[in-house]
Amino acid sequence: MIAAVATLGGVAFILALGLGLASRIFAVEQDPKVSAIISLLPGANCGGCGYAGCAGFAQALVAGQAAPLECKASSDAAIQEISKILGIVYVPKEKMIAKLFCQGRNDKAKVKYLYQGIRDCRAAVLLGGGAKACAYGCLGFGSCVKACPFGAISMGPEGLPKINENACTGCGACIRACPKGVIQLIPARQMWYIPCNSRQRGKAVRQVCDVGCLACGLCVKSCPEQAITLDDNRALIDPQRCTGCGICVERCPQKIIQSPGEMKEVAAVSKG
C-alpha cells in the first residue's frame, strides 16, 4: 500500500514538474499594451463589442482590428486612456442608455392565455409568441434582468423591467436577450421618446393594450421641427431634430411620450 502511494505521488510530481516546464518553454508573451487595455475595460465580458470577452477585444484593438468606441460599456475616461495607449486620436463617446419600448404592465395589457411555464421570456415566446395579446409587447419574465452584467435592470411589481439609467452602460446585453425587441438604445441626451413597440394602429392597439401608441400621427403633424416620423406604424423621434418643446407630449391622446430621465415621466406633466 505504502509503495503504491509513493509511486503515484512520484508520478504526480514528475507530471506536475513537466507541466510547469512546458508552460515556461511554450509560454507566449502578451503584449503589454493588451494587459494595460484589459485593466481599463469593464471586465463584464458582455459581448457588446462582438468579441467573446474583454481580453479578445483588447487583442483586437492592439491588432488594429477594432476601435475603442466599439466597447459600449466603457466609460468616456477609459476610452480616452485606451486611445492614448494605442496612439490614436481620442473620439468622445456619446452615452447611450437602454429604454423599454413598452408600457403594457399587468393592469394595462391583455393576455391571450394563462402561462404556467418557465419564467423566462425566451421560453415563453416559444408558446404562440407568448401570453401577451399584443404581439409586440414585453412578456415580463425578466430575461433582460438576468442578462445585464451590471445589475442595471430589475423587475417592477407591475410586471415590467425597470432600467436604472445611472447604472446602464449601454452594452446591449439586455437587447440581445429580449425575444420581442422591446429594449432599444437611445442617446442619454434625447429629450423625449415614445415607449411603444407596436406596429398596429388605433382599434387593433386598443383591443390589446390601454397605453399603446395608436399611430394616429398627431405628434408627427404637430412637431414644428419635423422630428417625428411614422415608420411601420411606429412613431419615432429623431434626437438630432428634437428641441424638447413638448408640443407632441400635449397632443398625444394616449399621453405616453416620455423623457429618458427616470424622474421626468410624462405622467408628471400630463393634463389628462
49 in any annotated domain:
yes
Distance (Å, whole) CA 45 – CA 126 = 28
Nearest Cα neighbor of 93 from 8, 156, 14, 170 is 170
Give how many domains the chain has, as a whole number.
Answer: 1
The backbone region for 244, taken as left when phi is positive above 0, alpha when psi lies in -120 to 50, beta otherwise, is left
C-alpha grid cell, residue 161: 423591467
pLDDT at 91: 84
Task: Measure the CA angle with vertex 91, ends 85 and 93; round to 5°.
Answer: 110
3-state SS assignment for residue 204: helix
Judged against a pLDDT cut of 60, whether residue 171 lies above it is answered with yes
79 in any annotated domain:
yes
85 in any annotated domain:
yes
41 in any annotated domain:
yes
The backbone region for 111, taken as left when phi is positive above 0, alpha when psi lies in -120 to 50, beta otherwise, is beta
pLDDT tens for 9-64 read: 555 666 666 566 555 555 456 688 999 999 999 988 888 888 988 999 999 999 99
Judged against a pLDDT cut of 50, whether residue 272 lies above it is answered with no
Which domain, by its residues, includes 87? 30-93
CATH of the domain at 66: 1.10.15.40
Higher-pLDDT residue of 177 and 31 is 177
In terms of C-beta density within 10 A (0-12 exposed, 13-18 middle, 19 or more buried), how is residue 247 classed? middle
Rg of the Cα atoms in the chain = 25
Distance (Å, whole) CA 165 – CA 168 = 5
pLDDT at 30: 66
pLDDT at 50: 87
15 in any annotated domain:
no
pLDDT band at residue 1, thresholds of 50, 70 and 90?
A: low
Q: Is 211 in contact with 190 (CB distance < 8 Å)?
A: no
58 in any annotated domain:
yes
Q: Is 127 in contact with 104 (CB distance < 8 Å)?
A: no
122 in any annotated domain:
no
136 in any annotated domain:
no
pLDDT tens for 49-106 read: 889 889 999 999 999 999 999 998 898 899 999 999 999 999 888 889 999 999 999 9
End-to-end C-alpha distance for the chain, whole angstroms: 87
Alpha helices, H only, the chain: 2-25, 32-40, 54-62, 76-86, 121-124, 143-147, 173-177, 202-208, 218-222, 247-251
Distance (Å, whole) CA 6 – CA 1 = 9
210-243 burial: b if 16+ Cβ within 10 Å, else e: ebbbbbbebbbeebeeebbeeeebbbebebeebe
The mean pLDDT value of the chain amounts to 87
